[in-house]
Protein backbone atom coordinates (compact mmCIF):
# COMPACT_ATOMS: atom_id res chain seq x y z
CA UNK A 1 0.00 0.00 0.00
CA UNK A 2 2.85 2.41 0.83
CA UNK A 3 6.31 2.23 -0.71
CA UNK A 4 9.24 3.92 1.00
CA UNK A 5 9.34 6.47 -1.83
CA UNK A 6 5.63 7.31 -1.41
CA UNK A 7 5.93 7.66 2.36
CA UNK A 8 8.76 10.15 1.96
CA UNK A 9 7.07 11.97 -0.93
CA UNK A 10 3.80 12.28 0.97
CA UNK A 11 5.23 13.52 4.26
CA UNK A 12 8.57 15.13 3.40
CA UNK A 13 10.00 13.00 6.20
CA UNK A 14 13.33 11.27 6.50
CA UNK A 15 13.97 7.53 6.80
CA UNK A 16 17.06 6.10 8.45
CA UNK A 17 16.62 3.04 6.22
CA UNK A 18 13.93 2.47 3.56
CA UNK A 19 10.84 0.45 4.49
CA UNK A 20 7.40 -0.02 2.97
CA UNK A 21 4.04 -0.59 4.65
CA UNK A 22 1.00 -2.73 3.94
CA UNK A 23 -1.28 -0.69 6.21
CA UNK A 24 -1.51 2.17 8.70
CA UNK A 25 -2.06 1.88 12.46
CA UNK A 26 -2.29 4.28 15.39
CA UNK A 27 -2.96 1.62 18.04
CA UNK A 28 -0.63 -1.25 19.00
CA UNK A 29 -3.65 -3.26 20.19
CA UNK A 30 -5.02 -3.57 16.65
CA UNK A 31 -1.76 -3.25 14.70
CA UNK A 32 -1.16 -5.82 11.97
CA UNK A 33 2.28 -7.04 10.84
CA UNK A 34 3.53 -4.80 8.05
CA UNK A 35 1.66 -1.69 9.26
CA UNK A 36 3.23 1.74 9.57
CA UNK A 37 2.66 2.79 13.18
CA UNK A 38 1.88 6.51 13.48
CA UNK A 39 2.95 7.78 16.91
CA UNK A 40 0.23 10.34 17.60
CA UNK A 41 0.49 12.47 20.73
CA UNK A 42 -2.63 13.82 22.41
CA UNK A 43 -5.12 13.60 25.26
CA UNK A 44 -4.89 9.81 25.42
CA UNK A 45 -1.12 9.70 25.71
CA UNK A 46 1.93 9.81 23.49
CA UNK A 47 2.28 7.17 20.82
CA UNK A 48 6.05 7.56 20.93
CA UNK A 49 5.91 5.60 24.19
CA UNK A 50 4.63 2.60 22.21
CA UNK A 51 6.94 2.64 19.20
CA UNK A 52 9.14 -0.16 20.53
CA UNK A 53 6.07 -2.31 21.21
CA UNK A 54 4.72 -1.59 17.71
CA UNK A 55 7.98 -2.64 16.07
CA UNK A 56 8.12 -5.75 18.24
CA UNK A 57 4.56 -6.60 17.14
CA UNK A 58 5.59 -6.55 13.50
CA UNK A 59 5.17 -2.95 12.38
CA UNK A 60 7.33 -2.30 9.33
CA UNK A 61 8.21 1.10 10.74
CA UNK A 62 6.97 4.04 12.77
CA UNK A 63 6.22 7.66 11.92
CA UNK A 64 7.67 9.82 14.69
CA UNK A 65 8.37 13.51 15.34
CA UNK A 66 11.34 12.97 17.58
CA UNK A 67 14.32 10.81 16.78
CA UNK A 68 14.03 7.20 17.87
CA UNK A 69 16.11 4.13 17.00
CA UNK A 70 14.87 1.53 14.55
CA UNK A 71 12.83 1.73 11.36
CA UNK A 72 11.39 5.21 11.62
CA UNK A 73 10.04 7.97 9.39
CA UNK A 74 10.90 11.29 11.04
CA UNK A 75 8.45 14.15 10.39
CA UNK A 76 7.83 17.56 11.96
CA UNK A 77 4.52 16.48 13.52
CA UNK A 78 2.90 13.05 13.34
CA UNK A 79 -0.70 14.33 13.13
CA UNK A 80 0.28 16.60 10.23
CA UNK A 81 2.11 13.60 8.78
CA UNK A 82 -1.08 11.53 8.97
CA UNK A 83 -2.96 14.32 7.17
CA UNK A 84 -0.21 14.32 4.53
CA UNK A 85 -0.68 10.59 4.00
CA UNK A 86 -4.42 11.18 3.66
CA UNK A 87 -3.92 13.91 1.04
CA UNK A 88 -1.48 11.75 -0.93
CA UNK A 89 -3.80 8.74 -0.81
CA UNK A 90 -6.76 10.86 -1.94
CA UNK A 91 -4.73 12.32 -4.80
CA UNK A 92 -3.82 8.89 -6.19
CA UNK A 93 -7.37 7.50 -5.75
CA UNK A 94 -9.19 7.23 -9.09
CA UNK A 95 -12.55 5.94 -7.87
CA UNK A 96 -15.64 7.70 -6.57
CA UNK A 97 -15.46 9.29 -3.12
CA UNK A 98 -18.48 9.72 -0.84
CA UNK A 99 -18.61 11.68 2.43
CA UNK A 100 -21.33 11.28 5.05
CA UNK A 101 -22.19 13.64 7.89
CA UNK A 102 -25.25 14.38 10.04
CA UNK A 103 -26.42 14.67 13.62
CA UNK A 104 -27.68 11.08 13.67
CA UNK A 105 -27.29 8.08 11.39
CA UNK A 106 -23.81 8.83 10.02
CA UNK A 107 -22.22 5.50 10.80
CA UNK A 108 -25.29 3.47 9.88
CA UNK A 109 -25.65 5.24 6.53
CA UNK A 110 -21.92 4.82 5.89
CA UNK A 111 -22.23 1.09 6.59
CA UNK A 112 -25.27 0.83 4.34
CA UNK A 113 -23.26 2.48 1.57
CA UNK A 114 -20.38 0.08 2.22
CA UNK A 115 -22.79 -2.85 1.82
CA UNK A 116 -24.39 -1.47 -1.33
CA UNK A 117 -21.24 -0.33 -3.11
CA UNK A 118 -19.25 -3.46 -2.21
CA UNK A 119 -21.70 -5.42 -4.36
CA UNK A 120 -20.77 -3.18 -7.30
CA UNK A 121 -16.99 -3.05 -6.89
CA UNK A 122 -14.04 -2.88 -4.45
CA UNK A 123 -15.09 -0.48 -1.68
CA UNK A 124 -13.17 1.12 1.16
CA UNK A 125 -14.96 2.73 4.11
CA UNK A 126 -14.17 4.20 7.50
CA UNK A 127 -13.79 1.84 10.43
CA UNK A 128 -16.41 2.25 13.18
CA UNK A 129 -16.90 6.01 13.75
CA UNK A 130 -13.50 7.23 12.57
CA UNK A 131 -14.88 10.64 11.71
CA UNK A 132 -12.71 13.22 13.49
CA UNK A 133 -9.39 15.05 12.96
CA UNK A 134 -7.41 11.81 13.07
CA UNK A 135 -10.09 9.33 11.96
CA UNK A 136 -10.73 10.93 8.58
CA UNK A 137 -7.07 11.17 7.45
CA UNK A 138 -6.51 7.65 8.79
CA UNK A 139 -9.41 6.40 6.68
CA UNK A 140 -7.87 7.99 3.59
CA UNK A 141 -4.36 6.77 4.39
CA UNK A 142 -5.67 3.20 4.59
CA UNK A 143 -7.45 3.44 1.23
CA UNK A 144 -6.27 0.85 -1.30
CA UNK A 145 -5.23 2.62 -4.52
CA UNK A 146 -7.35 0.22 -6.57
CA UNK A 147 -10.65 0.78 -4.76
CA UNK A 148 -13.58 1.70 -6.98
CA UNK A 149 -15.56 3.42 -4.21
CA UNK A 150 -14.63 4.96 -0.87
CA UNK A 151 -16.90 6.22 1.92
CA UNK A 152 -15.62 8.66 4.55
CA UNK A 153 -17.58 9.65 7.64
CA UNK A 154 -17.16 13.22 8.88
CA UNK A 155 -18.27 14.29 12.34
CA UNK A 156 -18.04 17.33 14.56
CA UNK A 157 -18.71 18.53 18.08
CA UNK A 158 -17.32 22.06 17.68
CA UNK A 159 -17.84 24.73 14.99
CA UNK A 160 -15.39 24.79 12.11
CA UNK A 161 -14.41 21.10 12.08
CA UNK A 162 -16.30 19.72 9.07
CA UNK A 163 -15.08 22.02 6.26
CA UNK A 164 -11.33 21.23 6.63
CA UNK A 165 -12.08 17.52 6.75
CA UNK A 166 -14.36 17.80 3.71
CA UNK A 167 -11.60 19.59 1.79
CA UNK A 168 -9.25 16.76 2.71
CA UNK A 169 -11.73 14.11 1.53
CA UNK A 170 -12.78 15.97 -1.64
CA UNK A 171 -15.94 13.89 -2.18
CA UNK A 172 -17.74 13.53 -5.47
CA UNK A 173 -20.94 13.14 -3.46
CA UNK A 174 -21.88 14.02 0.09
CA UNK A 175 -24.77 12.95 2.28
CA UNK A 176 -26.25 14.90 5.20
CA UNK A 177 -28.39 12.42 7.12
CA UNK A 178 -30.13 14.82 9.52
CA UNK A 179 -29.78 18.00 11.54
CA UNK A 180 -30.62 17.67 15.24
CA UNK A 181 -29.57 19.09 18.60
CA UNK A 182 -26.48 16.89 19.02
CA UNK A 183 -23.57 18.75 20.70
CA UNK A 184 -25.76 21.84 20.94
CA UNK A 185 -23.82 22.83 24.05
CA UNK A 186 -20.91 23.73 21.78
CA UNK A 187 -23.00 25.29 18.99
CA UNK A 188 -25.71 27.20 20.84
CA UNK A 189 -28.49 26.89 18.27
CA UNK A 190 -29.87 24.37 15.80
CA UNK A 191 -29.16 26.88 13.04
CA UNK A 192 -25.46 26.84 13.92
CA UNK A 193 -25.49 23.04 13.79
CA UNK A 194 -27.14 23.18 10.37
CA UNK A 195 -24.51 25.60 9.08
CA UNK A 196 -21.77 23.26 10.29
CA UNK A 197 -23.33 20.23 8.59
CA UNK A 198 -23.88 22.27 5.44
CA UNK A 199 -20.18 23.11 5.30
CA UNK A 200 -19.44 19.60 4.05
CA UNK A 201 -20.30 21.00 0.61
CA UNK A 202 -17.12 23.11 0.79
CA UNK A 203 -15.07 20.04 -0.11
CA UNK A 204 -17.10 18.82 -3.06
CA UNK A 205 -15.31 18.14 -6.31
CA UNK A 206 -16.51 20.18 -9.34
CA UNK A 207 -19.86 18.86 -10.54
CA UNK A 208 -20.46 17.20 -7.17
CA UNK A 209 -23.73 16.00 -5.71
CA UNK A 210 -25.32 16.74 -2.32
CA UNK A 211 -27.89 14.27 -0.96
CA UNK A 212 -29.98 16.08 1.65
CA UNK A 213 -32.88 15.28 4.03
CA UNK A 214 -36.10 16.65 2.54
CA UNK A 215 -37.94 16.59 5.88
CA UNK A 216 -35.37 18.69 7.76
CA UNK A 217 -36.50 22.07 9.03
CA UNK A 218 -32.98 23.25 8.14
CA UNK A 219 -33.19 22.13 4.52
CA UNK A 220 -32.96 25.64 3.07
CA UNK A 221 -29.56 26.18 4.75
CA UNK A 222 -28.30 22.86 3.44
CA UNK A 223 -29.51 23.58 -0.08
CA UNK A 224 -27.98 27.06 -0.07
CA UNK A 225 -24.56 25.65 0.81
CA UNK A 226 -24.93 23.00 -1.88
CA UNK A 227 -25.85 25.58 -4.50
CA UNK A 228 -22.99 27.86 -3.43
CA UNK A 229 -20.62 24.95 -4.01
CA UNK A 230 -22.08 24.46 -7.49
CA UNK A 231 -23.43 21.04 -6.58
CA UNK A 232 -26.45 19.20 -7.88
CA UNK A 233 -28.90 18.64 -5.02
CA UNK A 234 -30.88 15.44 -4.50
CA UNK A 235 -33.41 14.97 -1.70
CA UNK A 236 -34.36 11.87 0.24
CA UNK A 237 -37.19 11.42 2.70
CA UNK A 238 -40.67 10.10 3.43
CA UNK A 239 -42.13 11.45 0.18
CA UNK A 240 -40.15 8.76 -1.64
CA UNK A 241 -42.09 6.00 0.13
CA UNK A 242 -45.11 4.58 -1.66
CA UNK A 243 -45.80 1.85 0.89
CA UNK A 244 -44.06 0.05 3.74
CA UNK A 245 -44.67 -3.12 5.70
CA UNK A 246 -43.14 -3.43 9.15
CA UNK A 247 -42.45 -6.80 10.75
CA UNK A 248 -40.47 -8.11 13.71
CA UNK A 249 -37.15 -7.96 11.88
CA UNK A 250 -37.38 -4.81 9.80
CA UNK A 251 -39.29 -3.09 7.02
CA UNK A 252 -40.09 -3.87 3.39
CA UNK A 253 -40.43 -0.65 1.42
CA UNK A 254 -41.79 0.29 -1.98
CA UNK A 255 -40.31 3.64 -2.95
CA UNK A 256 -39.15 5.90 -5.74
CA UNK A 257 -35.36 6.11 -6.00
CA UNK A 258 -33.83 8.24 -8.71
CA UNK A 259 -37.21 8.55 -10.41
CA UNK A 260 -37.65 4.77 -10.59
CA UNK A 261 -40.19 2.72 -8.68
CA UNK A 262 -38.44 0.02 -6.70
CA UNK A 263 -38.68 -2.25 -3.68
CA UNK A 264 -36.12 -2.91 -0.94
CA UNK A 265 -35.76 -4.58 2.40
CA UNK A 266 -34.19 -3.04 5.54
CA UNK A 267 -33.27 -5.73 8.07
CA UNK A 268 -33.22 -3.27 10.96
CA UNK A 269 -36.09 -1.84 12.98
CA UNK A 270 -37.45 1.69 12.95
CA UNK A 271 -38.37 4.53 10.60
CA UNK A 272 -34.92 6.07 11.19
CA UNK A 273 -33.35 2.99 9.60
CA UNK A 274 -35.61 3.39 6.59
CA UNK A 275 -34.56 7.04 6.36
CA UNK A 276 -30.88 6.04 6.45
CA UNK A 277 -31.57 3.48 3.74
CA UNK A 278 -33.26 6.07 1.53
CA UNK A 279 -30.22 8.33 1.91
CA UNK A 280 -27.81 5.52 1.02
CA UNK A 281 -29.87 4.26 -1.90
CA UNK A 282 -30.36 7.76 -3.30
CA UNK A 283 -26.62 8.37 -3.09
CA UNK A 284 -25.79 5.03 -4.70
CA UNK A 285 -28.28 5.61 -7.50
CA UNK A 286 -26.64 8.97 -8.21
CA UNK A 287 -23.35 7.09 -8.65
CA UNK A 288 -24.97 4.67 -11.08
CA UNK A 289 -25.42 1.82 -8.60
CA UNK A 290 -28.79 0.19 -7.93
CA UNK A 291 -28.46 -0.94 -4.33
CA UNK A 292 -32.01 -2.09 -3.64
CA UNK A 293 -31.09 -5.77 -3.64
CA UNK A 294 -27.74 -5.41 -1.85
CA UNK A 295 -29.07 -3.37 1.07
CA UNK A 296 -30.90 -6.44 2.32
CA UNK A 297 -27.47 -7.71 3.41
CA UNK A 298 -27.00 -4.81 5.83
CA UNK A 299 -27.19 -5.53 9.55
CA UNK A 300 -26.82 -2.88 12.30
CA UNK A 301 -23.62 -3.05 14.32
CA UNK A 302 -23.08 -3.48 18.03
CA UNK A 303 -24.24 -0.42 19.94
CA UNK A 304 -26.07 0.93 16.90
CA UNK A 305 -29.39 -0.83 16.89
CA UNK A 306 -28.22 -4.44 16.86
CA UNK A 307 -31.02 -6.60 18.21
CA UNK A 308 -30.66 -10.08 19.61
CA UNK A 309 -32.45 -12.46 21.92
CA UNK A 310 -30.29 -13.55 24.82
CA UNK A 311 -30.12 -17.14 26.06
CA UNK A 312 -32.46 -16.17 28.88
CA UNK A 313 -35.10 -15.05 26.39
CA UNK A 314 -34.59 -11.28 26.75
CA UNK A 315 -34.81 -9.22 23.56
CA UNK A 316 -31.88 -6.80 23.75
CA UNK A 317 -31.89 -3.64 21.60
CA UNK A 318 -28.29 -2.44 21.80
CA UNK A 319 -28.08 1.31 21.16
CA UNK A 320 -25.30 1.79 23.68
CA UNK A 321 -22.78 3.58 21.48
CA UNK A 322 -24.17 7.12 21.54
CA UNK A 323 -27.25 9.26 22.08
CA UNK A 324 -28.94 12.57 21.46
CA UNK A 325 -32.56 13.58 21.64
CA UNK A 326 -33.43 12.54 18.10
CA UNK A 327 -31.74 9.17 18.30
CA UNK A 328 -33.23 8.37 21.73
CA UNK A 329 -36.72 9.11 20.42
CA UNK A 330 -36.08 6.90 17.38
CA UNK A 331 -34.86 4.05 19.59
CA UNK A 332 -37.84 4.40 21.93
CA UNK A 333 -40.16 4.20 18.92
CA UNK A 334 -38.55 0.86 18.03
CA UNK A 335 -38.89 -0.35 21.63
CA UNK A 336 -42.60 0.46 21.48
CA UNK A 337 -43.06 -2.08 18.66
CA UNK A 338 -41.49 -4.99 20.55
CA UNK A 339 -43.59 -7.58 22.41
CA UNK A 340 -43.33 -8.20 26.13
CA UNK A 341 -42.55 -5.84 28.99
CA UNK A 342 -40.64 -2.93 27.50
CA UNK A 343 -37.65 -1.78 29.56
CA UNK A 344 -35.86 1.48 28.74
CA UNK A 345 -32.33 1.81 30.14
CA UNK A 346 -31.08 5.32 29.38
CA UNK A 347 -27.88 7.17 30.21
CA UNK A 348 -26.99 10.84 30.03
CA UNK A 349 -26.87 12.61 26.67
CA UNK A 350 -23.67 14.67 26.70
CA UNK A 351 -22.55 18.02 25.24
CA UNK A 352 -25.92 19.75 25.50
CA UNK A 353 -24.74 22.72 27.57
CA UNK A 354 -27.53 24.87 28.97
CA UNK A 355 -30.06 22.70 27.12
CA UNK A 356 -29.14 19.59 29.11
CA UNK A 357 -31.92 19.66 31.70
CA UNK A 358 -34.70 20.52 29.24
CA UNK A 359 -33.53 18.01 26.60
CA UNK A 360 -33.59 15.17 29.11
CA UNK A 361 -36.88 16.11 30.73
CA UNK A 362 -38.52 16.49 27.31
CA UNK A 363 -38.13 12.75 26.71
CA UNK A 364 -40.74 11.95 29.39
CA UNK A 365 -43.65 11.74 26.96
CA UNK A 366 -41.74 9.44 24.62
CA UNK A 367 -40.69 7.17 27.48
CA UNK A 368 -44.25 7.07 28.83
CA UNK A 369 -45.56 6.12 25.41
CA UNK A 370 -42.91 3.50 24.62
CA UNK A 371 -41.75 1.86 27.87
CA UNK A 372 -43.28 0.05 30.83
CA UNK A 373 -40.37 0.79 33.13
CA UNK A 374 -37.39 3.18 33.06
CA UNK A 375 -33.91 2.65 34.46
CA UNK A 376 -31.62 5.66 34.18
CA UNK A 377 -28.09 6.70 35.04
CA UNK A 378 -26.22 9.97 35.16
CA UNK A 379 -26.99 13.34 36.75
CA UNK A 380 -28.91 14.66 33.75
CA UNK A 381 -31.07 11.56 33.40
CA UNK A 382 -32.32 12.29 36.94
CA UNK A 383 -34.46 15.03 35.37
CA UNK A 384 -36.10 12.53 33.02
CA UNK A 385 -36.52 10.01 35.82
CA UNK A 386 -38.34 12.62 37.93
CA UNK A 387 -40.48 13.69 34.96
CA UNK A 388 -42.01 10.29 34.16
CA UNK A 389 -44.99 8.93 36.11
CA UNK A 390 -43.98 7.22 39.38
CA UNK A 391 -45.18 3.86 38.10
CA UNK A 392 -42.53 3.90 35.37
CA UNK A 393 -39.60 4.55 37.70
CA UNK A 394 -37.41 1.51 38.07
CA UNK A 395 -34.14 2.94 39.41
CA UNK A 396 -31.79 5.84 38.89
CA UNK A 397 -28.06 5.78 39.69
CA UNK A 398 -25.18 8.16 39.11
CA UNK A 399 -23.26 5.79 36.82
CA UNK A 400 -23.74 2.76 34.59
CA UNK A 401 -21.53 0.47 36.69
CA UNK A 402 -23.93 0.85 39.62
CA UNK A 403 -27.00 0.48 37.44
CA UNK A 404 -25.82 -2.62 35.52
CA UNK A 405 -26.46 -5.24 38.23
CA UNK A 406 -29.78 -3.61 39.15
CA UNK A 407 -31.02 -3.92 35.57
CA UNK A 408 -29.65 -7.44 35.16
CA UNK A 409 -31.50 -8.55 38.29
CA UNK A 410 -34.75 -6.83 37.26
CA UNK A 411 -35.23 -8.20 33.74
CA UNK A 412 -37.08 -11.42 33.04
CA UNK A 413 -37.56 -13.77 30.09
CA UNK A 414 -39.82 -12.17 27.51
CA UNK A 415 -38.75 -8.61 28.35
CA UNK A 416 -37.57 -6.24 25.61
CA UNK A 417 -34.71 -4.04 26.83
CA UNK A 418 -33.38 -0.89 25.17
CA UNK A 419 -29.94 0.30 26.30
CA UNK A 420 -28.92 3.77 25.09
CA UNK A 421 -26.73 6.66 26.19
CA UNK A 422 -23.87 8.89 25.10
CA UNK A 423 -20.48 7.28 24.65
CA UNK A 424 -19.10 9.08 27.70
CA UNK A 425 -21.86 7.60 29.85
CA UNK A 426 -20.44 4.11 29.17
CA UNK A 427 -23.60 2.11 28.66
CA UNK A 428 -21.82 -0.93 27.25
CA UNK A 429 -21.29 -2.46 30.74
CA UNK A 430 -25.07 -2.71 31.06
CA UNK A 431 -25.23 -4.61 27.78
CA UNK A 432 -22.48 -6.93 29.02
CA UNK A 433 -24.30 -7.45 32.32
CA UNK A 434 -27.48 -8.44 30.49
CA UNK A 435 -25.55 -10.81 28.28
CA UNK A 436 -23.81 -12.36 31.30
CA UNK A 437 -27.11 -12.72 33.11
CA UNK A 438 -28.39 -14.49 30.03
CA UNK A 439 -25.96 -17.35 30.69
CA UNK A 440 -27.92 -18.20 33.81
CA UNK A 441 -31.02 -20.35 33.54
CA UNK A 442 -34.20 -18.26 33.40
CA UNK A 443 -36.12 -18.20 36.65
pLDDT in tens, 193-219: 999 999 999 999 999 999 999 999 999
Domain final residue pick, 47, 77, 107:
77
Domain count, the chain: 3
Domain final residue pick, 77, 103, 133:
77
Q: What is the pLDDT of residue 408?
A: 93
Q: How confident is the model at residue 311 (pLDDT cuts 50, 70, 90)?
A: confident
Domain co-membership, 169 together with 46: no
What is the CATH classification number for the domain harbouring 42? 3.40.1390.10
Q: What is the pLDDT of residue 442?
A: 39
Residues 84-101: tens digit of each pLDDT: 999 999 999 999 999 999
Residue 399 lies in a domain: yes
Residue 442 lies in a domain: no
Beta-sheet strand order (sheet of 149-153): 123-125, 149-153, 96-101, 173-176, 209-213, 232-236
Mean pLDDT in residue range 412-434 = 91
Domain co-membership, 199 together with 312: no
Domain around 27: 4-77
Mean pLDDT in residue range 381-396 = 96
Domain co-membership, 198 together with 266: yes
Residue 416: is its pLDDT beyond 70?
A: yes
Domain co-membership, 180 together with 318: no
Q: What is the pLDDT of residue 330?
A: 87
Q: What is the pLDDT of residue 184?
A: 74
Residue 86 lies in a domain: no
Domain co-membership, 286 together with 362: no
Residue 28 lies in a domain: yes
Domain co-membership, 324 together with 386: yes
Residue 83 lies in a domain: no
Cβ distance 156 to 162 under 8 Å?
Answer: yes
Residue 107 lies in a domain: yes
Residue 88 lies in a domain: no
Q: What is the pLDDT of residue 440?
A: 45
Handedness of CA 396, 359, 391, 303 (dihedral sign): negative
Q: What is the pLDDT of residue 441?
A: 41
Residue 402: is its pLDDT beyond 90?
A: yes
Residue 438: is its pLDDT beyond 70?
A: no
Q: What is the pLDDT of residue 443?
A: 37
Q: What is the pLDDT of residue 202?
A: 95
Domain co-membership, 71 together with 128: no
Give φ, ψ of 161 to 5 degrees: -90, -30
Residue 69 lies in a domain: yes
Return mean pLDDT, the chain: 93
Q: What is the pLDDT of residue 65?
A: 96
What is the CATH classification number for the domain harbouring 390? 3.90.190.20
Domain final residue pick, 17, 44, 77:
77
Domain co-membership, 254 together with 236: yes
Residues 134-146: tens digit of each pLDDT: 999 999 999 998 9
Q: How confident is the model at residue 435 (pLDDT cuts 50, 70, 90)?
A: confident
Domain co-membership, 50 together with 100: no
Residues 353-373: tens digit of each pLDDT: 888 899 999 999 999 999 999
Amino acid sequence: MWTAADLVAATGGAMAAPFSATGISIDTRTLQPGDLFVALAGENGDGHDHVAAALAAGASGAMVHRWMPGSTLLVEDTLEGLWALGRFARARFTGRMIAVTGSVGKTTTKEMLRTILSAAGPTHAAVASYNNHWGVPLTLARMPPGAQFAVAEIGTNHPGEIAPLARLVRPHLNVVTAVAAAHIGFFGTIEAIANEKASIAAGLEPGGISVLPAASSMLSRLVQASETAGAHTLLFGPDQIRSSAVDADGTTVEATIGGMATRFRVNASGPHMVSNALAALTAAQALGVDGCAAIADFRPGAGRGARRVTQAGVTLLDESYNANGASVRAALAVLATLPGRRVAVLGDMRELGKHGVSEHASLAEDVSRSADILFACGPLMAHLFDAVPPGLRGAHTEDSATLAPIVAAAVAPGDAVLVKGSLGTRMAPIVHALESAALKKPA
